[in-house]
Amino acid sequence: MKTIQVVAAVIRDGDRVFATQRGYGPQKDGWEFPGGKIEPGETPRQALIREIREELDTQIDVGEKLIQVEYDYPAFHLSMGCYLCAVVSGSLTLKEHESARWLGRKDIDAVDWLPADRAVAAELKKRWAEAINACF
């Protein structure tokens, strides 16, 4: 089975994250964290900066890696590095996506996540719970 190497940006604004709805392809209408394929010669961080600039007309700062997701779709294996990111400049303009939403701890499950992105949402819920528990 072919492996596709991709990166995804978990763009944060306070306690919310930015989710996008695919506007094309076999996964159309599914929700995901934006990003895309790593091109030959690119590091994951370089790919993520390029993809977000192309897809959302936004410059981001790429922070720590949140999670590495390995997922078998019917036609390929997806290897997705997911990084915590912040907007440096730009307004998150949708160029390829159908819709977008800011989601917080209470509504992270309000969208129909693509299968691989469900693991990212689960990791975020775990981290939010740990942060809340650390306050007590």
More confident position, 125 or 26:
125
Question: Exposed e or buried b for every residue in 3-21, given b needs 16+ CB within 10 A?
Answer: eeebbbbbbbeeeebbbbb
Pairing of strands 77-90, 3-13: parallel
Residue 66 maps to which CATH number? 3.90.79.10
| pLDDT more than 90, % of the chain | 84
pLDDT digits (tens, 9 = 90+) for 8-47: 999 999 889 999 999 888 888 999 999 999 999 999 999 9
pLDDT number for residue 25: 81
Alpha-carbon span 54 to 112, nearest angstrom: 24
Asked if 12 and 86 touch (Cβ cutoff 8 Å), the reply is yes
pLDDT number for residue 26: 81
pTM value is 0.92
Mean pLDDT over 99-124 rounds to: 96
Domain hosting 96: range is 3-134
Mean pLDDT over 68-96 rounds to: 95
**What total number of domains does the chain contain?**
1
Q: State the average pLDDT for the chain.
A: 93
pLDDT number for residue 127: 87
By CB atoms closer than 10 A (0-12, 13-18, 19+), residue 27 is middle
Please count the other Cβ atoms lying within 10 Å of the Cβ belonging to residue 82. Answer: 25
Mean pLDDT over 123-128 rounds to: 90
Strand partners of residue 70? 79
